[in-house]
Chains A and B, each alone.
Chain A
Amino acid sequence: MKRTESLMNKDLDGELSHSESVELDRSERTDPDLRRTRDAWQRATRALATIEPQAPRFPVDAWAHQIHVATRPSWSFAVALRRFADHVWRQRWPLSAAGLTAVAAVGLFYWAEQNEASSSSTAGLRVQAPKVAPVEVRVGSIETIDTDDAPVSIRF
Chain B
Amino acid sequence: MAQAWLTGRWGIEALTRSRTQADVQAMGDRGLLQRAAWGDEASCKELLARYGARLLSVVRATHGDLALDDDIVQETFIRAIRQGAQLKKEASLFPWLVRIALRVAIDHRRSRRRETLTDVWPENTEAPGPGPDEHVAASQDAARVKQALAQMKPYHRELLVLRYFTSFSAAELAEVFHKSDVAIRKDLQRAREAMRKHLEPWFTEE
Residue numbers of A with Cβ under 8 A of B are: 9, 12-15, 36-37, 40-41, 43-58, 60-61, 63-68, 70-73, 75, 77, 79-84, 86-87, 91
Contacts and interface: CB of A to CB of B under 8 A. Distances in A.
Nearest to B164: A48
Interface of B: 6-7, 9, 11-12, 15-16, 18-19, 34, 36-41, 44-45, 48-49, 52-54, 56-57, 60-61, 70, 73-74, 77-78, 81-82, 138-139, 141-142, 144-146, 149, 160-161, 163-165, 167, 169-170, 185, 188-189, 192, 195, 199, 202-206
A59 to B, nearest CB: 9
Most chain B Cβ neighbours within 10 Å, of A41, A47, A87: A47
Contacts of A86: 34, 38
Q: Classify the secondary structure of B's interface with A.
A: helix
A51 B145 contact: yes
Given A12-B192, A63-B74, A87-B15, 19 more contacts: A36-B206, A40-B199, A43-B141, A45-B164, A48-B145, A48-B165, A51-B142, A51-B165, A52-B57, A55-B57, A58-B73, A60-B48, A65-B41, A66-B74, A79-B12, A80-B6, A80-B7, A84-B12, A84-B15
A56 B53 CA distance: 6
Contacts of A14: 169-170
16 contacts: A12-B192, A13-B170, A37-B203, A41-B192, A45-B164, A46-B138, A48-B161, A49-B164, A58-B73, A60-B48, A63-B52, A65-B41, A67-B78, A75-B12, A79-B38, A84-B6
B49 A40 contact: no
A40 to B, nearest CB: 4
Nearest 10 A-B pairs (CB), nearest first? A72-B39, A48-B164, A64-B45, A47-B141, A68-B41, A47-B145, A40-B202, A40-B203, A64-B44, A71-B81
Contacts of B204: 36
Contacts of A15: 170
Most chain B Cβ neighbours within 10 Å, of A15, A57, A84: A84
Contacts of A46: 138, 141
Contacts of B12: 75, 79-80, 83-84
A63 to B, nearest CB: 6
Most chain A Cβ neighbours within 10 Å, of B37, B145, B163: B145
Nearest to B145: A47
